[in-house]
Structure 1
Amino acid sequence: MAMDQHKLRTLVFEKTGVKIDIDDPVFALVALNEAVLEDAVERHIAAIDSATRELVRRARDVGGLPPERSVEHDASNELDPGAGAATRSAADAALSQPHAPATKITRHEWRLLAAAAGVAVLSALLVLAGQAAFTKPGLTSAQTRSLQEAERLRTAINQLDPKLRAEIQAQLSK
């Protein structure tokens, strides 16, 4: 995908009011960004393709897809935009077929689920208990002393004559 430099110039000017030339080094950065983005997209597509193939393989193993279809056929048709409509419609029809019924959760799985829920609740309670144990509510003794001293100073300032009190309050507000 080649970038349209004239379109980008116009867009930059419309948004910022800044005029840039076609020879501006910013276009080199745009091209570099485009190349890096293209590389990242290709890697992600390859990872998604691999994951799709693995998912289709596992779905076939548990009976969710018909066994006569190949993993490469299943995964590549869904991702390949050039695949024929007949091939895609056959794949869509196969995927829309009723799948094997879901298996019930066994007692062992229920016990594991209950144990996991219990561990989660106990972990949350442990975190809350630790937080309560290690945080001290209220003020420290130094903070209490500072507040008492501030109260004494406020009382002393209020007992001064109004002119001196105004000067002190002006100095304190600086």
Structure 2
Amino acid sequence: MDQQKLRSLVFEKTGVKIDIDDPIFALVALNEAVLEEAVGRHIAAIDAASLELTQHARLAGGLPPVADAARKAAPLDATNEPSAAPAAASAGYVPTPPGPVRPIATQSPAITPRELRLLGAAAGIAMLSALIVVGAQAVFSKPPPAPVIEAKALTPEQTLALRNAEKLTKAIEKLEPKARNQLQAELQK
């Protein structure tokens, strides 16, 4: 425990200056001792549980038996240091070989089913938006005005021909029905 480092840390965090002889350092030392003892107990409990689990796995056939050379080597505890237990009583962990490995695909299809679904959705959305735009344009746009055809002025000859046609029509109406029918038949030929 570096008391100078703790003093500077307390000063930086709180702005309070403490002396090396301050009783708070006794409390820190006590806390360190209690924590070390608790951690040691937990490491021992974890080591015992892992050894028991390894033995059960070996008995069940999940782990291969330990070779003689591995039994002679001192097993490591949770801190990766040789444990205080005798080497014969504890067996080191030997990992099981990995199962068959599936090969990694090096080529993928040009279009996956997911991409195909996304393309279909995009095409549907594009069609729908195009229909909405065309419909809105049809609703909100004004139709073009109808073309206005202006009649040209009639020439004097045309006006004379129309007057003569009116006179002729009146004259035909005054004729006898038999003569009128013959004349209309001749005019339509």
Tell me if both proteins adopt one fold, taking TM over 0.5 as the criterion: no
Larger radius of gyration: 2
Shorter-normalised TM range: 0.3 to 0.5
TM-score (norm 2): 0.41
TM-score (norm 1): 0.44
Q: Which has the higher helix share?
A: 1
